[in-house]
Each structure stands twice: as C-alpha cells, then as structure tokens.
Amino acid sequence: MRIGELSQRTGVSPRSLRYYEKQGLLRSSRSDAGQRHYSDAAVQRVSLIRQLFEAGMSSRVIASVLPCVDLPADLDVAEETFTAMTRERDRIDADIAHLIETRDALDVLIRANSRHRAELSTTPAPVPL
C-alpha cells in the first residue's frame, strides 16, 4: 500500500509516517517512480509505534524496543527491551516526582499570595488628598 492508504488506515499523517521511517521505526520499499510502498503488517507496526509514543517514549527509545517485535524469540532482545522500558518508567517516575515538588512550591507561593490579598482587602484604602 502507498503512504496515503497507510495514513488513512492508521490515522497517522503522511508526514509522521515519513518521520517514523527516517527514525528507523518503519520500513518501506520504493517503486521505480520512488513512491513508498508498505506491507499490510505496517498497519499493526504503526499502531504499536503510536502506543509507544503515547507511553512517553522517544523515537530513540522506541527504536531500541522494536527489535523485540522483530525478533520475538530472542531472549537477549527481550531482556534489552525490558531494561529500556523499565528505564523509561523510572524516568517518568522521576519527572512526576519533580512535578509534584514544583506544584508544592507553587502552592506555598499561592498561599502567601492569598494571605497578602486578604491583608490588602482588610486594610482601609488611603484617603486621597
């Protein structure tokens, strides 16, 4: 199938499909006219790539995980994939912890601002001269 059909079948833009290919996540063959042609299996692969992106993985990490799909019986590849995925989860956990700390710091500032606003509303306004 050509790129337009793959785009329609997956809901992924042709631009994204070309990006996936450039990153080594997706493969195509070329016609004599230079048009990309994809196998029917590309639909499933694009779906998996989208799932991996939605899980917060970068294209670099996805490229390191996809060999597990291509070589499902290879224990070494499965172990490398497991390590990559757990490393990504740990990175996301660290990001979440940092965001919680940032939110807590912002809460302190919001409380201080709330107290300041309350003080301003109870202070009589100066009488103009």
**Beta-bridge partner residues of 29:** 37
Rounded Cα gap, residues 91 and 31, in angstroms: 41
pLDDT by residue (tens digit) across 43-59? Answer: 999 999 999 999 989 99
> pTM for this structure?
0.73
Which CATH number is associated with domain 3-122? 1.10.1660.10
**Average pLDDT for residues 2-29, to the nearest whole number?**
96
The pLDDT confidence band at residue 124, using thresholds 50, 70 and 90, is confident
**Average pLDDT for residues 89-99, to the nearest whole number?**
96
CB distance 77 to 68 below 8 Å: yes
